Structure 1
Amino acid sequence: MGWSTREVADLAGTTVNTVRHYHRVGLLEMPERLSNGYKSYEVRHLVDLLRIRRLRELGVPVHQIDRVAAGDDRAAAALEDIDAELAATIERLQEARAQIRTIADGATTADLPPGFENLGSRLTATDRSLMLIYSQVYDDEAMRDIRAMLESDPEDVRVDFDALPPDADEETRRALAVRYAVGLAHDLKAYPWLRDPLAHHKRRPQITWEMVAESVAALYNPAQLDVIARATAVATATVEASEE
């Protein structure tokens, strides 16, 4: 006497839906039906189901199981590919564990992209938010440059900029923009791509530009945005003059 779908699923330690899925994708042969219309699974179906489950536990994707089960050169190649994928996954998980340990120990916060952990104490909540957004916009090379820029930023200018109230007067904005422009001019020379930030984008140019522009506008107050605009104009003019 054979087993029902639920019985064979229980014997294999899986679910009825999983068994049905394996039928749909062609991994598990459909059993004969009894006179009452119910499926009747035999030992061979159970063995096949256990074999599939074993391969799934080893990390073999469903679409690769046929290749692995073939037992020929295709199987060896598939296993090599899967082993490489598992190695990469292990590396990512180990890196994730290290970062979680750093956060748990209080050395950094959870709202910083990888590589920025040592800057946690120097960055405001606004800065950290912007770095997370940048990590989705710019490639690894650009993020390394941005980290270097943050590390070399004059502390006094950053503190004054972060503390700038939205209703700061004209003279305060002008003076801070001049100071801000000094470091910005240095960065524009050291990292020429800043004048064409789309050169290091990871997404479509229009999406990148809109994402950065909207994020900056939302995260900084009107006085800070004014200082950024003035400083950018001064720094750009300074760099262009030095190149003539």
Structure 2
Amino acid sequence: MAWSTRELAELAGTTVNTVRHYHRLGLLPEPERRVNNYKQYGVSDLVRLLRIRRLVDLGVPLGQIDDVSHGGDSTPDALRAVDADLAGRIAHLQQARADIALILQGSAPADGPRGFETVASRLSEADTSILHIYTQLYDQEALDDLRRMVETESDEADAEFNALAPDADEATRQRLAELIAPALAQHLADYPWLKDPAGRLPKGSQATQETFVEAVVELYNPAQLDVLARASMIANPPPDTPTEG
């Protein structure tokens, strides 16, 4: 019995292009050709192809197929490495499923920041963007704290801040800053690391500070930046300057 490349591929449950790829890699030897120059495969070729497919299905990289197939000393280590990789991929998929469940449960945007699914629907575009950046800057404990902060913030104050026009007048800015300041002061009391976040920045404080400043300046308009600065001063005023005696 002799099979063509297409027939061999169908028997092995793969494609002609895959068979040709294995030939190019030297995993599957080129068979003899018929008088018409077409390849003709036999049982040994089919078995070799099925063995390759078995290892591929297990996740063995193509570059290690030959060694593993021959059962060399490195085979156990190669299989353990594959198993570790599969475990990581399974964990990633399980996390993705958990995230999707939270997104569906909270009707949250699918592209919102991870870990904020329960509050994502109430976030402005700017807040969502800044939190996306935070997920790359802060450690997990800090991100959990940030989520709790968002959960306790006033919807009214958030709505007014998000709608604040770039040319908002002085009185409006000051009133909004005074409205936001108590919650900010409470956050500073509940989460002292906010005053010195260096310990929560795995990537280093300098690069993080530069990223934070650039992001805030770009994502919020001048009036909003002014309100944030005023609210910060009210919530955490600088210590009094000592009086010269």
TM-score by length of 1: 0.74
Distance 2:68 2:82 in 1: 10
Task: Give 2:173's aligned residue.
Answer: 173
**Larger-Rg structure:** 2
Cα distance, 1:67 vs. partner? 4.2
Distance 1:183 1:100 in 2: 31
| 1:120-169 Cα distance to aligned partner (Å, 9 max, x none) | 35423432233234324444344234223323445554343223233310
The correspondence for 1:241, drawn from 232, 239, 242, is 239
Task: Give 1:101's aligned residue.
Answer: 101
> In 2 relative to 1, CA 224–79 (structure 1 residues): closer, same or farther, beyond 3 Å?
same
Distance 1:154 1:104 in 2: 24
| 1:155-190 Cα distance to aligned partner (Å, 9 max, x none) | 554343223233310122133335545554665673
AA partner of residue 132 (structure 2): L
Q: Once structures 1 and 2 are overlaid, which stretch shifts more, 137-146 or 188-197?
A: 188-197
Secondary structure of the equivalent of 2:110? coil
Distance 2:47 2:153 in 1: 64
Unaligned residue ranges in structure 2 (runs of 5+): none
The alignment's C-alpha RMSD in Å is: 3.7
**Are the counterparts in 2 of residues 111 and 132 from structure 1 also a CA contact under 8 Å?**
no
**Are the counterparts in 2 of residues 111 and 129 from structure 1 also a CA contact under 8 Å?**
no
AA partner of residue 225 (structure 1): L
> In 2 relative to 1, CA 193–24 (structure 1 residues): closer, same or farther, beyond 3 Å?
farther
Task: Give 1:150's aligned residue.
Answer: 150
The 5-angstrom pairing of residues 194-213 of structure 1 reads 200=201, 212-213=212-213
The reply to whether residue 82 of structure 1 matches residue 72 of structure 2 is no
Distance 1:58 1:125 in 2: 43
Unaligned residue ranges in structure 1 (runs of 5+): none
Task: Give 2:71's aligned residue.
Answer: 71
Distance 1:205 1:29 in 2: 56
Distance 1:147 1:3 in 2: 62
Distance 2:152 2:106 in 1: 23
**Are the counterparts in 1 of residues 116 and 147 from structure 2 also a CA contact under 8 Å?**
yes
Task: Give 1:92's aligned residue.
Answer: 92
Cα distance, 1:84 vs. partner? 2.9
AA partner of residue 45 (structure 2): H
Cα distance, 1:117 vs. partner? 2.3
Aligned length: 240
**Are the counterparts in 1 of residues 68 and 78 from structure 2 also a CA contact under 8 Å?**
yes
Identity, % of aligned positions: 51
The 5-angstrom pairing of residues 31-42 of structure 1 reads 31-34=31-34, 37-42=37-42
Cα distance, 1:17 vs. partner? 1.8
**Are the counterparts in 1 of residues 198 and 205 from structure 2 also a CA contact under 8 Å?**
no
AA partner of residue 135 (structure 1): T
The reply to whether residue 21 of structure 1 matches residue 55 of structure 2 is no
